[in-house]
Structure 1
Amino acid sequence: MDSTQLHVAIMSSPGIGHLIPVLVLGNRLATHHNIKITILTITTNSSSPEIEFLKKFNEKKTIQIIPVPSIDISHLIDSNTKLFTQLRILVREALPEIRSGIASMNHRLVALIVDIFGTQILPIAEEFNIPKYVFHPTNAWSLALFMYQQVLDQEIESEYVDLKQPLEIPGCKALRPDDVMDPMMDRSDQQYHEYLKLALEYTCFDGILTNTWEELEEETIKALRSNEKLRSVSRCPIYPIGPLRRTVDITEHDEVIHWLDKQNQKSILYVSFGSGGTLSSEQIIELAWGLELSQHKFVWVVRPPSDNGTDSAYLNSNENDTGGSLEYLPKGFLTRTKDMGLVVPMWAQQVEILSHLSVGGFISHCGWNSTIESLTSGVPMIAWPLHAEQKMNSTMLTEELGVAIRPMILPTKKLVKREEIQEMVRILMHTKEEKSIRENVKKLKLSAENALSEGGLSYNTMCEFVKNIRTS
């Protein structure tokens, strides 16, 4: 390490969906910009995918990782405590450990970067006089909503979901009441107040990095930088540095990849709802029948059903849970589809699967990690949002970018029946409509590559960020 090397700490919230983009960001800063990276990651008792990723990145020796032990918050929550609130509490309780980790570092930090749930670290950053930045791991549209939330809270008294007109965000696409994020759905719930605090904390940082790129969201990024109503809330610089995603790293004996190697190009539909998303028992049965009726080849990463909410598995995955006997699937489904599809319990190498030439479509929960991985692989989607900002992502993918189709009614509102699933698969994989969707996603794949290449807008923006922290 040379004496001029910069030292940056990045904090990750619990959950593989938060850890992956933080690791990718850290790795890019380390390998492309010669910055020494220390990542403080809050783990959970059941974070086997997180542990595997940490081991892999430790092997590469490009970044230092300090795991923050799991914090018991059982005495602070009950069965009604929403996931958003749980994550805020979990991070809040871990702050003393985070502070100790920062205090023990034997080098001066030129910047402290936190992810979306790490904004409560503000007092610690100020105590150590460290320039502080937020890494917003999703798109600019959701960032604009975050930034403007304090104004909406003052201007609107009723429940957002009861509004007859869309929520206006200056300079950006308006937000339909049906598409509001989960924490906005009930203003009397604790998670709404936690969400409002988080939105206010966002405006107190020295800059915001976001995992998107200019060509994808040109108008929204322009509004974040120059719209006076948005700038009156916060004038901190916005850095679109994406799309950041994991690189392909195929393990030698992965059975899914070997199966895909035997299939025709663009012939396989990949189905996955993320590391924490689950479906109800009834919806799993309808999805299974829809896939079978479509007579289309598929790879389905399936998790046991949850009738307690679609995000209930987020902090409760278990490394020993292999999906059980799959008895929750329709009787005879595995036998009838053995030559047609592959059912994978719990987890699969998603980036590697989406990058495979045989994969031609993706039924996705529209989490931003999965969205980025699909777009940068040139794979169109059937949008099936479950929670968080995924409804916003789904609207962007279908109505603005034209790279996805979706059910007539949101899956969070109504059961998606097998006949509609069968029809969506047919449209995505077989019809003329599919051709225009594929052309759109191909253009976005190319634009993403250009953004990150040397001299591209995202590459230049990252260089600007590094220059700013170097001189701060």
Structure 2
Amino acid sequence: MYPTHNNHNSKMTSEVAVVMVPFVAQGHLNQLLHLSHLISAYNIPIHFISTATHIRQARIRLHGWNSHNNLIQFHELPDPDFISPHPNPNGTVSFPTHLQPVFNSSLRLRGPVADFVRSLAETSRRVAVVHDSAMSYVVQDVKFMSNVETYIFRALSVFYTYCSNLDRLRRELPFAPKMLPRLPSSDETMSGEFMEFVKLQYEHQTFHVGNIYDSSRVIEGTFLESLEREGICGKNHWAVGPFNPVEIQTDVSNSDRHASLKWLDKQPERSVVYVSFGTTTTFTVSQIRELAMGLEKSEQRFLWVVEGRGLVVREWAPQVEILGHLSVGGFVSHCGWNSCMEAMTCGVAVAAWPIHSDQPRNAFLFVEVLKVALMMREWACRDKLLTSVMVEKVVRRLMDTKEGAAIRKRAAEVGGELRRSLANGGISRKELDSLIAYIRR
């Protein structure tokens, strides 16, 4: 495990230091910890700051990286008090409103974050604060520190960022006019309270020097170029993804391997459908039943819920390792951006079932633009029960038809392009080199 440092050594000096300020949601924590490893490879010290609870979550669930990276130091901030209700699968929107108290509590980290950065700035020529866009309010005080600059990490697809800003600015999308009528609306993707939270963050996104994305010009170059050309979100944009490790060494003789991986070892190549909806999805009992029946009736091997052809996984599972396993041939996903990037990196095609937030437009990107997915549940049908018949139909289409074979081939091709983009001379490696050069300038 990484050493934890609750206080940095004030006697040490640094040419440049990077402070990571993640949002307090699991997927966002993972992304910035992955990015920490990428930047630390350039021999730049990283200070990862969050509450003790969220640092523990991030470290436990990180996999695929060297666990003894001494360039990454963890600094624990006080855990703000809050009361979080239980998830409500019968709510009026599918957004995880039970997490709103956690999100609101993050606003109280403003003072501790400012104190930490101010102290670090005293011993560094420059401090680069890389913060989640949802922590813009928290980092606002660093704009008064002369040798500190901020970079917004946008934990979403470039496509979603582009569409959302044009929505906000009431401008039209200048691409593929025939697609526009099918672009999912943003209706009911978030709760009203979270939209107010996001609005607050926008108010404090006026002093950053650039934007960082867990994406690549290989897949979203068109939209990055549009952001740059139209001056949306500022002038500097770096797509340095995929953040997640693309080569994970697997020791099949290791008795501590996750049960899901041991089960996958016994399955034929590209025969298994992996089913996962992230950490913020709550289904009704009826919907769980329909999903289970549909998977069973599809007669495809799957990693999710029932005995026999399928395996139940009731706790966190190592998703990148699962998607990278030779037995996995398809992925039923909510299309959270982490899952999207991990699926593409591993070359796995997706059956898209968006639930909330950015997911409907991520699904649209996958199905209509990149052609690496089939749509399982249209956003316009979000209020309807997805029947076992539809689950069965889409799983079969993905895994057992010529149409599905073409999509899976396309996904494998995109995966190869993404992995090559990280090699020396690759487009994502060049973007990362450019980001590091800018930080060190």
User: Could you say which TM-score interval applies, normalised by the shorter chain?
Assistant: 0.7 to 0.9
Aligned pair in 2 of structure 1 residues 399, 419: CA closer, same or farther (>3 Å)?
A: same
Distance 1:83 1:177, change over 3 A: farther
1:121 paired to 2:132? no
Once the two structures are TM-superposed, the CA of residue 205 in structure 1 deviates from its matched residue by 1.4
Distance in 2 between residues matched to 1:368 and 1:408, nearest whole Å:
17
Q: In structure 1, what is the Cα distance between the partners aligned to 2:284 and 2:384?
A: 11
Matches within 5 A, 1:114-263: 114-129=131-146, 130-152=148-170, 168-170=172-174, 174=180, 178-180=184-186, 182=188, 189-227=192-230, 231=231, 234-246=233-245, 248=248, 252=254, 253=256, 254-263=258-267
Q: TM (normalized to structure 2)?
A: 0.84
Residue 268 of structure 1 aligns with an amino acid whose one-letter code is V
Please name the residue that 2:109 is paired with. 94
Contact in 1 for aligned 2:137/2:200 (Cα 8 Å): no
Query: 1:331 — aligned with what?
Result: none
Q: Is the 8 A contact 1:7 1:111 kept in 2?
A: yes
Once the two structures are superposed, residues 376-435 of structure 1 have per-residue CA deviations (whole angstroms, 9 ceiling, x without a partner) of: 111101101111100010011111111111225336321110011111111111100012
Q: Which amino acid aligns with 1:34?
A: N
Q: Measure how far apart 1:68 and its partner are.
A: 2.2
Mapping 1:15-164, distance limit 5 Å = 15-31=25-41, 33-42=42-51, 44=53, 49-53=57-61, 59-74=68-83, 82=97, 86=101, 88-105=103-120, 107-108=123-124, 109-129=126-146, 130-152=148-170
Distance 1:120 1:145, change over 3 A: farther
After the TM superposition, which of the residue ranges 439-448 and 349-358 deviates more from structure 2? 439-448
Consecutive unaligned residues in structure 1, runs of 5 or more: 153-166, 303-333
Match of 1:467 among 433, 437, 440: 437
Asked if structure 2 preserves the Cα contact closer than 8 Å seen for 1:85 and 1:194, the reply is no
Identify the residue that residue 372 of structure 1 maps to in structure 2.
341
Q: Deviations over 1:23-44 (max 9, x none)?
A: 110100001x221111112354
Specify whether residues 243 and 208 from structure 1 end up closer, same or farther in structure 2 by C-alpha distance, changes over 3 A only: same
Query: Does the residue aligned with 1:120 lie in a helix, a strand or coil?
Result: coil
Q: Post-superposition shift, 1:176?
A: 5.4
- Equivalent-residue separation in structure 1 for 2:439 and 2:21 (angstroms): 17
* Aligned residue in 2 for 1:447: 417
Relative to structure 1, the CA distance from residue 297 to residue 190 in structure 2 (aligned partners, 3 Å threshold; closer, same or farther) is closer
Q: CA deviation at 1:209?
A: 0.7
Q: In structure 1, how many angstroms separate the alpha carbons of the residues matched to 2:215 and 2:181?
A: 19
Q: Give distance in 1, aligned partners of 2:301 and 2:271.
A: 7
Deviation larger for 129-138 or 172-181: 172-181
Equivalent position SS for 1:18? helix
Native 8 Å contact 1:271 1:362 kept in 2:
yes
Counterpart amino acid of residue 239 in structure 1: W
Tell me the residue number matched to 2:403.
433
SS in structure 1 at match of 2:49: strand
Pick the aligned partner of 1:7 from 9, 13, 17. 17
Q: Report the alpha carbon displacement of residue 215 of structure 1 after superposing the two structures with TM.
A: 2.1
Q: Displacement of 1:263 after TM fit?
A: 1.0
Measured at CA, do residues 272 and 433 of structure 1 come closer, stay the same or move farther in structure 2, by a change above 3 Å? same
Structure-to-structure mapping, 1:300-315, within 5 angstroms: 300=304
Q: TM-score, normalised by structure 1?
A: 0.79
Q: Distance in 2 between matches of 1:350 and 1:131?
A: 34
Instruction: Give, in whole Å, the separation in 2 of the partners of 1:99 and 1:353.
Output: 39
Judge which range, 47-56 or 407-416, deviates more.
Answer: 47-56
Contact residue 399 and residue 405 of structure 2 kept, 8 A: no
User: Which amino acid counterpart does residue 103 of structure 1 have in structure 2?
Assistant: R
Question: Counterparts of 1:174 and 1:107 in 2: how far apart (Å)?
Answer: 51
Tell me the amino acid that sits aligned with residue 272 of structure 2.
Answer: I
User: Aligned match of 2:382 in 412, 422, 431?
Assistant: 412
* Preserved CA contact (<8 Å) 1:290 1:417: yes
Contact in 1 for aligned 2:109/2:138 (Cα 8 Å): no
Identity %: 27
Q: Unmatched 5+ residue regions in structure 2?
A: 1-11
